[in-house]
Amino acid sequence: MAQIAQVLVDVPTMQTNRPYSYQIPAAWQSQVQPGMRVVVPFGRGKRRVQGFVLKLDETTNYDGDLKAIDAVVDLAPVLNPEALEMTEWLAESTFSFRITCAQTMLPAVMRAKYEKQLRPTSQTSATVEQTLFKGHSEVPFDDAAQTPQAVSELLRLQAAGQVDVYYQVKNQARRKTQVAVKTTLTTAELVAAEKTVRTGAHQQLALLKGLATLNGETLAQKAFSERFKVSEATIRTGAKKGWLKKVAVEVYRDPYATSDIQPTQPLQLNPEQQVAVDQIVSAIDQPATTTFLLEGVTGSGKTEVYLQSMAAALAQGKTALMLVPEISLTPQMVRRVKGRFGKAVAVLHSGLSSGEKYDEWRRIQRGEAQVVVGARSAVFAPLTNLGLIVMDEEHESTYKQDDAPRYHARQVALWRSRYHNCPVVLGSATPSLETRARAEKGVYQRLVLADRVNQRPLPQVSIIDMKKEMQQHAESNFSAPLLVALQDRLDRHEQSVLMLNRRGYSSFVLCRDCGFVLKCPNCDISLTLHMDTHTMKCHYCGHEEPIPRVCPNCHSRQIRYYGTGTEKVEEELRDLLPDARIIRMDNDTTRKKGAHAKLLAQFGSGDADILIGTQMIAKGLDFPNVTLVGVLNADTALGLPDFRASERTFELLTQVSGRAGRAEKSGHVYIQTFNPDHYAIRFAQHHDYEGFFKYEMQVRHQGGYPPYYFTVQITASDLDEAVAAKRMYQLLQWLRPRLAPSTIILGPTPKPIARVNRRYYYQIVIKYKQEPNLEKTLTTLLHETQVQQRQGLQIGIDVEPLHFM
Ligand SMILES: Nc1ncnc2c1ncn2[C@@H]1O[C@H](COP(=O)(O)OP(=O)(O)OP(=O)(O)O)[C@@H](O)[C@H]1O
Ligand SMILES: [Zn+2]
Ligand SMILES: [Zn+2]
């Protein structure tokens, strides 16, 4: 019998991938299994930490006395064998710690929370007692560590043994339970009990009759008292007399319980859809680990392809996972999947309360849900026997996590596909360049839906040159042609969508006369405005210059920060079109839970004529009566200091254009821009993804950017700017000799928003084609910087970062 457990411990300040051995107390030896969480003593003193059991051993080669496991948190493993194996791969490929990976796979409520407390020691001086503890036996660390000075003072006291930092494990996952009734008496005993009740006690008789119908099952107390018309007081009496027991039963919180989703039937596929479904289903049947790229124009019916392929997996007794960028933004998708698969569907996304998420997660873990729809972290859903993984809008950057482990859900999906031997479908109208390039090489199999369903044409797109418009209408957000089109839709009772691009607000300057954006002379990337230093900086190479007062290109004085808010746009539109009914969707109007879905439902039911919004309205919406789409400012994303700026702009314009004319009536799109000749805008005008792909690949090739190069970003942050900067320069010295001469290292440079949360950020970008030493070097870096983390400096490693800001 296993007596030793290998435990991955969670020590926030001293992470390691090496498991520690613990004795399993005799009483638990048959219970403890890999994948369970346990609480173990760690280090000296009374410190307790949480950990995951990785493995069981009969013996240990450790000589000393092994400490014993203190408590078992779970009654059954929370990480299955697949998840345990995945932590190892994920930690290696993202340069993070296994414990962080293990926790990422669980719903937030199940992650260990620690309360960090300061406690006095036997060596605490009287002054420290008075100033820090003020007579208390412990004080919260965060209260005491308000300033950098306070932190360094605490570190000094800790080093001198005057204070102890103490971590308290908290487990916050709570099941929701309900009181239910249950009887242990036989039918004969219940009948006998009836004789003991006086004849007038109708309620008690009803109670006994009711209990007799239960056949030993439990029934919620509320349902019981409604069904048999007995009061709670009578049930209490029954419990006293020993007729029944009150028990707590678990109930699931169902986030979609109140919604009225109509069941749907599979649609008759068109020939292109049929080809796609046939290919995918054949890979499910084989089974094969093929990765498909489903490249289908907006409104081509990709969703129906996903649904019918998923149905094929279910028909084989397998499960299906469908990833979507952010469900709260696309409530329509959840409805479609639930409509087709009903109760078999579990939904995981950030819009749910943590309790709801926990319940959905357990339904999946227990095999009660065969289909999972969810955002990024749903890629870890504990589905067994996977038959298909679908990733909708695969180009979306929300699939990449910003904090450690900095994983991309696509990478995890591909790993799981190999584990389960099942296909993956990556779907998009605008695939990421990386994905499309892989399909070109034959790594992914490309499936194309070239036409919209029912031969609907893609909308006509007009580009409006705002430099000319500005000369005529000065400061308006609306060009003359767009206004005419809006009025026209009002007259015809059709709907319009207006998008205001808020990405990259005011962080760059643009000439309103010639559209000029200031670029770095070395990198051909836009310079970013830094108001703190009043300079323009390049975030790739560090180049810096003063903010221009006149346009370097045309000498106009109309050079300014570009930007305008949704609220201002709404106001102006109400002036211009007083009769229009307008809905505004932005961060302000959608903060409340469910607000998104509500506003969209309102628009969908025809309660408004115009929907104004930020990027959040660009994607996935399928409203038949929308025939006009207007983009107020196509340029803001173009000005970002990021080599993906053109790709993002093309993608956004194509996606938002795709909202127009999806049903019988044809659509029209107006794109307002200061750069009417930019290739990203031209290709979007012609719905020409393939043309854009070829052109952009050349640009990337010339600039030495992905997918021709791999990139890794390393950031350092500290409360003290000098410490962060100095550490980055040391890091550069340390890295250079360890990496191949052909590898390019850019920086260090301060990050565009150099100071966030009182911390200063500096970054280095490594670009390489082949770098045999990378893995070893970065793993060493990860482990060595642990010591510095303790002193407040934080190092982050990001493989293939999606944002360079
Ligand atoms: N075979 C079909 N016959 C009839 N209607 C269909 C068929 N396939 C899909 N549709 C309908 O066409 C519309 C567009 O489909 P869908 O929303 O799946 O497009 P999409 O490719 O996901 O577009 P986008 O990329 O813009 O989100 C939907 O209303 C859908 O119900
Ligand atoms: Zn100019
Ligand atoms: Zn530069």
Q: Is it the case that residue 3 has pLDDT exceeding 50?
A: yes
| Rounded average pLDDT over 773-797 | 82
Centre of ligand 2 from the C-alpha of residue 55, in Å: 66
| Rounded average pLDDT over 775-801 | 82
Residue closest by Cα to atom 28 of ligand 1: 301
Q: Is it the case that residue 757 has pLDDT exceeding 60?
A: no
When mean pLDDT is compared over 197-206, 616-625, 647-656, the highest value belongs to 647-656
Which residues lie at CB < 5 A from ion ligand 2?
511, 513-514, 516, 551, 553-554, 556
Residue 679 sits in the same domain as residue 613: yes
The CATH number for 17's domain is 3.40.1440.60
Q: Is 254 exposed, middle or buried (0-12, 13-18, 19+ CB in 10 A)?
A: middle
What would the pLDDT profile of 524-545 be if each residue is shown by its tens digit?
667 777 655 677 877 667 788 8
Centre of ligand 2 from the C-alpha of residue 525, in Å: 17
Q: What domain count does the chain have?
A: 6
Residue 495 sits in the same domain as residue 618: yes
**Is residue 304 in contact with ligand 1, taking CB distance under 6 Å?**
yes
What whole-number distance in Å separates Cα of residue 575 and Cα of residue 543? 44
**Is residue 299 in contact with ligand 1, taking CB distance under 6 Å?**
yes
CB 601 within 8 A of CB 623: no
Centre of ligand 1 from the C-alpha of residue 400, in Å: 26
**Is residue 756 in contact with ligand 1, taking CB distance under 6 Å?**
no
CB 680 within 8 A of CB 653: yes
Residue 76 sits in the same domain as residue 222: no
Q: What is the CA radius of gyration of the chain?
A: 31
Residue 652 sits in the same domain as residue 581: yes
What percent of the chain shows pLDDT beyond 90? 44
Closest residue by Cα to residue 98 from 405, 331, 384: 405
Round the average pLDDT of the chain to a whole number and report it. Answer: 86
Q: Which of 154-158, 378-382, 526-530, 688-692 has the lowest mean pLDDT?
A: 526-530
| Rounded average pLDDT over 441-466 | 94
Residue 638 sits in the same domain as residue 586: yes
Residue 528 in domain: no
Q: Is it the case that residue 503 has pLDDT exceeding 60?
A: no
Residues 6+ apart with CB under 8 A from 317: 385
The CATH number for 385's domain is 3.40.50.300
Ligand closest to 540 (CA) is 3
Q: Quick one: pLDDT at residue 115?
A: 62
Q: How confident is the model at residue 391 (pLDDT cuts 50, 70, 90)?
A: very high
Q: Is it the case that residue 175 has pLDDT exceeding 70?
A: no
Residues 6+ apart with CB under 8 A from 185: 193, 211, 243
**Is residue 506 in contact with ligand 1, taking CB distance under 6 Å?**
no
What whole-number distance in Å separates Cα of residue 6 and Cα of residue 20? 5
Q: How confident is the model at residue 172 (pLDDT cuts 50, 70, 90)?
A: low
| Rounded average pLDDT over 64-89 | 88
Of ligand 1's listed atoms, the one at least distance from the Cα of 269 is 1
Q: Which of 28-42, 321-335, 566-580 has the lowest mean pLDDT?
A: 321-335
**Is residue 392 in contact with ligand 1, taking CB distance under 6 Å?**
no
Residue 151 in domain: yes
Q: Quick one: pLDDT at residue 201?
A: 85
CB 693 within 8 A of CB 647: no
What whole-number distance in Å separates Cα of residue 45 and Cα of residue 123? 15
Q: Quick one: pLDDT at residue 59?
A: 75
Give the residue with greater pLDDT, 450 vs 153: 450
Residue 197 in domain: yes
Residue 533 in domain: no
**Is residue 658 in contact with ligand 1, taking CB distance under 6 Å?**
yes
Of ligand 1's listed atoms, the one at least distance from the Cα of 392 is 22
What angle do the packed helices 221-228 and 232-240 form, to 10 degrees? 110
Specify the length of the chain in residues: 805
**Is residue 647 in contact with ligand 1, taking CB distance under 6 Å?**
no
- Which structural domain, as residue segments, surrounds residue 190? 184-243
Q: Are strands 445-449 and 291-296 parallel, antiparallel or unpaired?
A: parallel
Q: What is the pTM of this model?
A: 0.79
**Is residue 300 in contact with ligand 1, taking CB distance under 6 Å?**
yes
Q: Is it the case that residue 627 has pLDDT exceeding 80?
A: yes
Strand-pairing partners, residue 41, are 48
Q: Is it the case that residue 367 has pLDDT exceeding 80?
A: yes
Closest residue by Cα to residue 621 from 518, 457, 498: 498
| Ligand 1 mutation pick, 300, 334, 395, max ligand atoms within 8 A of CB | 300
Residue 663 sits in the same domain as residue 781: no
Peptide bond into 676 cis (omega under 30): no
Q: How confident is the model at residue 523 (pLDDT cuts 50, 70, 90)?
A: low
Residue closest by Cα to atom 23 of ligand 1: 299
Residue 280 sits in the same domain as residue 414: yes
Q: Quick one: pLDDT at residue 327?
A: 62
Closest residue by Cα to residue 330 from 412, 411, 427: 427
Residues 6+ apart with CB under 8 A from 281: 309, 312
Residues 6+ apart with CB under 8 A from 778: 95, 712, 797
Residue 652 sits in the same domain as residue 576: yes
Residue 467 sits in the same domain as residue 579: yes
What would the pLDDT profile of 98-129 be if each residue is shown by its tens digit?
999 999 998 877 765 656 678 888 888 888 88
| H/E run at residue 654 | helix 645-657
What would the pLDDT profile of 239-271 be if each residue is shown by its tens digit?
888 898 887 776 666 656 546 678 899 999 999
Residue 523 assigned to a binding site: yes
When mean pLDDT is compared over 172-181, 441-450, 496-505, 629-638, the highest value belongs to 441-450
Which residues lie at CB < 5 A from ion ligand 3?
520, 522-523, 538, 540-541, 543
Last residue of a domain, one of 125, 144, 170: 170
Give the residue with greater pLDDT, 386 vs 237: 386
Q: Is it the case that residue 506 has pLDDT exceeding 60?
A: no
| Ligand 1 mutation pick, 453, 455, 657, 665, max ligand atoms within 8 A of CB | 453
Which runs of consecutive H residues, i.e. helices, occur in 60-179? 81-94, 98-104, 126-128, 141-144, 148-159
Ligand closest to 514 (CA) is 2
What whole-number distance in Å separates Cα of residue 162 and Cα of residue 437? 59
Q: Which of 316-330, 453-467, 532-546 has the lowest mean pLDDT?
A: 532-546
| Rounded average pLDDT over 10-28 | 82
Residue 334 sits in the same domain as residue 424: yes
DSSP string of 689-742, one letter each residue = HHHHHHHHHHHHHHHT-TTSSEEEEEEEEESSHHHHHHHHHHHHHHHGGGS-TT
Tell how far CA 696 is from the center of its chain.
Answer: 27
Give the residue with greater pLDDT, 399 vs 355: 399
Q: Quick one: pLDDT at residue 504?
A: 39
Give the residue with greater pLDDT, 588 vs 763: 763
Centre of ligand 2 from the C-alpha of residue 639, in Å: 14
Centre of ligand 3 from the C-alpha of residue 633, in Å: 26
DSSP-assigned letter for residue 133: I
| Rounded average pLDDT over 38-58 | 86
Residues 6+ apart with CB under 8 A from 224: 180, 181, 210, 230, 235
Q: Quick one: pLDDT at residue 791?
A: 66
CB 537 within 8 A of CB 750: yes
Q: Quick one: pLDDT at residue 26?
A: 83
Last residue of a domain, one of 147, 170, 193: 170
What percent of the chain shows pLDDT beyond 70? 88
Give the residue with greater pLDDT, 803 vs 305: 305
Q: Which of 39-48, 193-202, 713-722 has the lowest mean pLDDT?
A: 39-48
| Ligand 1 mutation pick, 297, 302, 426, max ligand atoms within 8 A of CB | 302
When mean pLDDT is compared over 219-223, 524-528, 743-747, the highest value belongs to 743-747
What whole-number distance in Å separates Cα of residue 767 and Cα of residue 586? 36
Residues 6+ apart with CB under 8 A from 757: none
Q: Which two tokens stand for residue 594?
A: 């469910």
Residue 514 assigned to a binding site: yes
Q: Quick one: pLDDT at residue 505?
A: 43
Residue 532 in domain: no
Residues 6+ apart with CB under 8 A from 389: 320, 321, 322, 323, 413, 416, 417, 422, 423, 424, 425
| Rounded average pLDDT over 416-443 | 97
Give the residue with greater pLDDT, 366 vs 535: 366
Give the residue with greater pLDDT, 537 vs 78: 78
Q: ipTM value, please give it.
A: 0.93
Q: How confident is the model at residue 167 (pLDDT cuts 50, 70, 90)?
A: low
Residue 555 in domain: no
Residue closest by Cα to atom 30 of ligand 1: 301
| Ligand 1 mutation pick, 326, 428, 622, max ligand atoms within 8 A of CB | 622
Q: Is 325 exposed, middle or buried (0-12, 13-18, 19+ CB in 10 A)?
A: buried
Q: Which SS3 state, helix, strand or coil, does residue 752 take?
A: strand
Ligand closest to 512 (CA) is 2
| Rounded average pLDDT over 639-645 | 78
| Rounded average pLDDT over 774-784 | 89
CB 314 within 8 A of CB 365: no
Of ligand 1's listed atoms, the one at least distance from the Cα of 624 is 29
| Rounded average pLDDT over 620-629 | 89
Q: Quick one: pLDDT at residue 563?
A: 43
Q: Quick one: pLDDT at residue 195?
A: 85
Number of CB atoms found within 10 A of residue 98's CB: 24
Q: How confident is the model at residue 329 (pLDDT cuts 50, 70, 90)?
A: low
Ligand closest to 467 (CA) is 2
CB 516 within 8 A of CB 495: no
Residue 105 sits in the same domain as residue 117: no
Q: Quick one: pLDDT at residue 116?
A: 66
Residue closest by Cα to atom 27 of ligand 1: 620
**Is residue 431 in contact with ligand 1, taking CB distance under 6 Å?**
no
Q: Quick one: pLDDT at residue 90?
A: 96
Give the residue with greater pLDDT, 241 vs 391: 391
Q: Quick one: pLDDT at residue 614?
A: 84
Q: Quick one: pLDDT at residue 366?
A: 87
C-alpha separations of 280 from 43, 311, 325, 349 in Å: 53, 11, 22, 26
Residue 422 assigned to a binding site: no
DSSP-assigned letter for residue 378: G
The CATH number for 749's domain is 3.30.70.600
**Is residue 37 in contact with ligand 1, taking CB distance under 6 Å?**
no
Closest residue by Cα to residue 681 from 653, 700, 660: 653
What whole-number distance in Å separates Cα of residue 146 and Cα of residue 127? 19
Last residue of a domain, one of 243, 258, 285: 243
Helix, strand, coil distribution of the chain in percent, nearest 5: 35, 25, 40
Residue 294 sits in the same domain as residue 332: yes
**Is residue 429 in contact with ligand 1, taking CB distance under 6 Å?**
yes
C-alpha separations of 726 from 210, 718, 781, 804 in Å: 76, 11, 16, 20
